[in-house]
Structure 1
């Protein structure tokens, strides 16, 4: 290319042509300098690899996980890929089903606060299914004191959400189980105090489903399921004086478990009290 330009310069006689040729020669030099790099391999620098930390795994502690409702909660949580552990007086569940082998079982009593120390390690949410019947003093201790201890221990540990399975108000019937309902109310008050933004109280009525008793399975759904179908559409009857609460519709254990797990893991689930109709509504949502 330089030879061609030099010949052009030789055949140009005017000063203007000479100036033009000088500028052209400079441009050619620049072009020729760049053209020498055409055959060089094109280098591409690799971007730096950024190590993105995995999303935090959620660990759910189910109190009373080997009971009727608690076992349904464990199974529901596992179906969502959650890490599940459970604390109960008997420790490992006697249920011979594959899901039970995926739960980390802790043995302890909520009446002994130290029992919760190991069970609460790395826990992000708690679902308490603890409750019981007996004398008034015993019912208050199991339904009230035990759950209050758990709520305080979870709050001290920095747990974000706590779901408590309470019970619907049956009006006159409450006086027959005074210790039971007084204990429930005390636990509810403690939860709303300690977990203002992450506490959820579920108030189901009669809970039906297949209950495991030893080697026997009792199909409570035979009675509860038809009643649920009828009474969930008879909400006005619930407002009748004295006997209205007796028309509270039953709800399945699987529905309670579904809502409990969602309330424990969904950060936008509203805190506060969810009654039977709310449980039925949330359990129907996908």
Structure 2
């Protein structure tokens, strides 16, 4: 012990060496020269910080029907998350007069005419479809079924990684009154689950509420939807009643649908398959 104390290498210097070593710094062979290594190390750190690192690749999201009620909220949500966003619809650019609209790549095309829109798939990593409509049974099947099936097949051929389809909850007896609508929806769901067993997500909301732009008017659908959502989300057993149970499906806000949809389209760990309205409500409350 006396040899260590009497040597030129004191205990205090030994402690300094240990501390410096733990910080990942290396000293010269002369342990008495402690200033020089710090200068070299600091120079190395400063140099490393100035190296240009390319940014990570940007996810490009294509929203089918991005100029509609639900689609516009999805576009806005995706832009807020820093995504590159494009929209494809028959009308093209949205009529909404808000700044975020200028940040969307608007494409015009008809999903029933494949040649008019395939160019919009270039560089797309994920797709969200809000395509749907009402009319005669044959028209509803084409819009809700055939158009979406065309999009799903084209996306799979192009190598798009994920596809999210906004379908509709079962409303019991209403399904029979809108046969073409629901048959089209279910046909598109089957195609999606077949083509995208690991990257396909189907959302089945019921009534979607929020402020809806109709021409120059704004309809505050949340005035009705929000109270019903608060009440019916706790009445899940009623939704299991045969034939009429679907009428007790709780409404969900358009913001919640947009949040969950964008997450499903971009989060690789989001589970594939069908998400019902209760799942949408649950996922929308997560950060």
TM-score, shorter chain, exceeding 0.5: yes
After superposing the two structures, state which structure 1 stretch, 52-61 or 218-227, moved more.
52-61
Query: Is contact 1:63–1:128 with CA below 8 Å preserved after alignment?
Result: yes
Q: What is the CA–CA distance in structure 2 between the aligned matches of 1:115 and 1:232, rounded to whole Å?
A: 42
Give the structure 2 partner of residue 73 of structure 1.
Answer: 74
Give the structure 1 partner of residue 268 of structure 2.
Answer: 267
1:66-98 alpha-carbon deviations (Å, 9 max, x no partner): 001000100110110111000000001111111
Query: Is contact 2:76–2:100 with CA below 8 Å preserved after alignment?
Result: yes
> What SS does the aligned partner of 1:133 have?
coil
Structure having the higher Rg: 1
Give the structure 2 partner of residue 220 of structure 1.
Answer: 221
Query: Is contact 1:64–1:88 with CA below 8 Å preserved after alignment?
Result: yes
In the TM superposition, what are the counterparts of 1:1-286 in structure 2 within 5 Å? 52-286=53-287
> What SS does the aligned partner of 2:93 have?
coil
> What SS does the aligned partner of 1:105 have?
strand
TM-score by length of 2: 0.83
Query: Is contact 2:163–2:199 with CA below 8 Å preserved after alignment?
Result: yes
Query: Is contact 1:60–1:126 with CA below 8 Å preserved after alignment?
Result: yes
CA RMSD of aligned residues (A): 2.0
1:48-80 alpha-carbon deviations (Å, 9 max, x no partner): 997643211001000000001000100110110
Give the structure 2 partner of residue 11 of structure 1.
Answer: none
Structure 1 segments, 4+ long, off by >6 Å, are 41-50
| Displacement of 1:116 | 2.8
1:8-43 alpha-carbon deviations (Å, 9 max, x no partner): xxxxxxxxxxxxxxxxxxxxxxxxxx99xx9xx999
| Displacement of 1:217 | 0.5
| Displacement of 1:145 | 0.3
Q: What is the CA–CA distance in structure 1 between the aligned matches of 2:117 and 2:268, rounded to whole Å?
A: 24
Q: What is the CA–CA distance in structure 2 between the aligned matches of 1:71 and 1:160, rounded to whole Å?
A: 22
Q: What is the CA–CA distance in structure 2 between the aligned matches of 1:194 and 1:244, rounded to whole Å?
A: 31
Query: Is contact 2:172–2:242 with CA below 8 Å preserved after alignment?
Result: no
Q: What is the CA–CA distance in structure 1 between the aligned matches of 2:237 and 2:113, rounded to whole Å?
A: 44
Query: Is contact 1:163–1:202 with CA below 8 Å preserved after alignment?
Result: yes
Give structure 1 stretches of 5+ with no counterpart.
1-33
Q: What is the CA–CA distance in structure 2 between the aligned matches of 1:127 and 1:115, rounded to whole Å?
A: 18
Q: What is the CA–CA distance in structure 2 between the aligned matches of 1:154 and 1:116, rounded to whole Å?
A: 11
1:90-147 alpha-carbon deviations (Å, 9 max, x no partner): 0011111111111010000000112332211111100000000000000000000000
Give structure 2 stretches of 5+ with no counterpart.
1-28
Q: What is the CA–CA distance in structure 2 between the aligned matches of 1:249 and 1:115, rounded to whole Å?
A: 38
After superposing the two structures, state which structure 1 stretch, 118-127 or 274-283, moved more.
118-127
